[in-house]
């Protein structure tokens, strides 16, 4: 057993068993919408137990992938296989009922009935999930409300919940039954820093037992808590693996310089500028290159944001 060091300060480390079989295997998934947009272009991923970060800008194809895995839309080509605890497997694209029994899904646009209490709605979802035995259903609903820290608010109408509380409720409904795979689509968008942190801690704890596929366009969401990840754009997987390995691969190739606003377009024309941050009103740029780009640049330790933008730039150049 190898333990990942606690990456997020207060967040718990995730224990990973080397050689453990992947929970979800995706092979050459393809999807072109009727309007001609190729949302999934030969997507292959191996998703182990724990948190898996799917990082990409808006329009990358993340939701298309997640909706396909959640059996809400069809792929044109490829396969996806969910491997259960006993080693048996489910064909995700064909055996939809079986997948739905073992899948938890928090969609991007998770709507709730504002006039219903958290407890009543979770109970209702539990019935829909097929939890017919009353006593065990009650126990599960109560246990989940406690797990997501909504026990004290369980009688409150969902319309009175904050964004963070609604997302935690969304996680509770995704955990109903006994999911092997939990899919959460852009869950931290719109949360304030404290709610976001609380929510991510909750996800990290869940990831100790199941595979959690988290889509986000926020690099820090992945840096903080995902032992494995993929970067996606324009329907393609640009990179997959451990964040630390991807960062190490960029070592000694990222350079920093503070420049004037007026000079920024020139630098962008001459170099592969990965990122621009304003410090004291002037842009500090990160540039990718094997050698010092020019006078005044200092080498910096790369981070996941550099990895992310380097991949996006490389894809844009190749196109
Ligand atoms: P992401 O979740 O990464 O933002 P999406 O999967 O939502 O990306 O979208 C991928 C691409 O597919 C985008 O160009 C988007 O406009 C397009 N798209 C998404 N859903 C549909 C649809 N139902 N019909 C046509 N195009 C779609």
Cβ atoms < 10 Å from Cβ of 184: 27
Distance 37 CA to ligand 1 centre (A): 8
Compute the average pLDDT of residues 20-40.
94
Question: For atom 26 of ligand 1, which residue has the closest CA?
Answer: 33
Q: Which of 16-20, 67-71, 149-153, 287-291 has the lowest mean pLDDT?
A: 16-20
Distance 38 CA to ligand 1 centre (A): 9
DSSP 166-235: HHHHHHHHHTSS--SEEEEESTTTT--HHHHHHHHHHHHHHTTTSEEEEEES-HHHHHHH-SEEEEEETT
pLDDT over 90, % of the chain:
74
Residue 274 in contact with residue 313, Cβ under 8 Å?
Answer: yes
Average pLDDT over all residues of the chain: 90
Is residue 165 helix, strand or coil? helix
Q: Distance (Å, rounded) from C-alpha 50 to C-alpha 225?
A: 10
Class of domain 22-242: alpha beta
Question: pLDDT-based confidence at 12, cuts 50/70/90?
Answer: very low
Predicted confidence (pLDDT) at residue 3 exceeds the cutoff of 70: no
CB 37 near ligand 1, within 6 Å: yes
Q: Distance (Å, rounded) from C-alpha 165 to C-alpha 175?
A: 15
Question: For atom 15 of ligand 1, which residue has the closest CA?
Answer: 59
For 73-102, how does the pLDDT look when each residue is reduced to its tens digit (9 = 90+)? 999 999 999 999 899 999 999 999 999 999
Report the relative pairing of strands 282-288 and 298-299 from DSSP bridges. unpaired
Q: Which of 103-112, 162-171, 222-231 has the lowest mean pLDDT?
A: 103-112
Q: What is the dihedral of CA 199, 275, 303, 309, to 10 degrees?
A: 80
For 242-268, how does the pLDDT look when each residue is reduced to its tens digit (9 = 90+)? 999 999 999 999 999 999 999 999 999
CB 59 near ligand 1, within 6 Å: yes
CB 57 near ligand 1, within 6 Å: no
For 102-125, how does the pLDDT look when each residue is reduced to its tens digit (9 = 90+)? 999 998 878 888 999 999 999 999
- The residue ranges of every structural domain in the chain are 22-242, 248-318
């Amino acid at each position: 057993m190898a333990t990942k060091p606690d990456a997020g300060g207060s967040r718990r480390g995730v224990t990973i068993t080397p050689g453990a079989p992947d929970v979800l295997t995706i092979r050459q998934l393809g999807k072109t919408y009727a309007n001609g947009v190729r949302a999934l272009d030969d997507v292959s991923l191996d998703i182990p137990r724990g948190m898996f970060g799917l990082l990409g800008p808006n329009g990358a194809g993340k939701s298309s992938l997640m909706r396909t895995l959640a059996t809400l839309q069809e792929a044109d080509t490829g396969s996806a296989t969910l491997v259960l605890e006993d080693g048996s497997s489910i064909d995700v694209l064909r055996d939809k009922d079986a997948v739905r029994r073992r899948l938890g899904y928090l969609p991007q646009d998770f709507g709730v009935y504002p006039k219903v209490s958290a407890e009543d709605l979770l109970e209702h979802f539990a019935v829909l999930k097929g939890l017919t035995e009353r006593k065990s259903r009650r126990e599960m609903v109560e246990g989940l409300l406690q797990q997501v820290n909504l026990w004290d608010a369980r009688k409150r109408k969902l319309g009175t919940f904050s964004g963070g509380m609604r997302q935690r409720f969304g996680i509770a409904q995704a955990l109903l039954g006994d999911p092997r795979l939990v899919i959460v689509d852009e869950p931290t968008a719109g949360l304030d820093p404290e709610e976001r942190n609380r929510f991510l801690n909750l996800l990290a704890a869940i990831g100790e037992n199941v595979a959690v596929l988290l889509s986000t366009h926020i690099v820090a969401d992945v840096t903080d808590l995902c032992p494995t990840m993929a970067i996606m754009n324009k329907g393609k997987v640009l990179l997959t693996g451990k964040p630390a390995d991807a960062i190490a691969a960029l070592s000694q190739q990222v350079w920093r310089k503070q420049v004037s606003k007026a000079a920024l377009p020139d630098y962008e024309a001459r170099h592969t500028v990965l990122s621009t941050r304003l410090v004291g009103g002037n842009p500090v740029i990160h540039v990718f290159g094997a050698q010092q780009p020019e006078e005044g640049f200092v080498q910096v330790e790369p981070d996941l944001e550099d990895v992310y933008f380097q991949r996006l730039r490389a894809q844009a150049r190749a196109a």
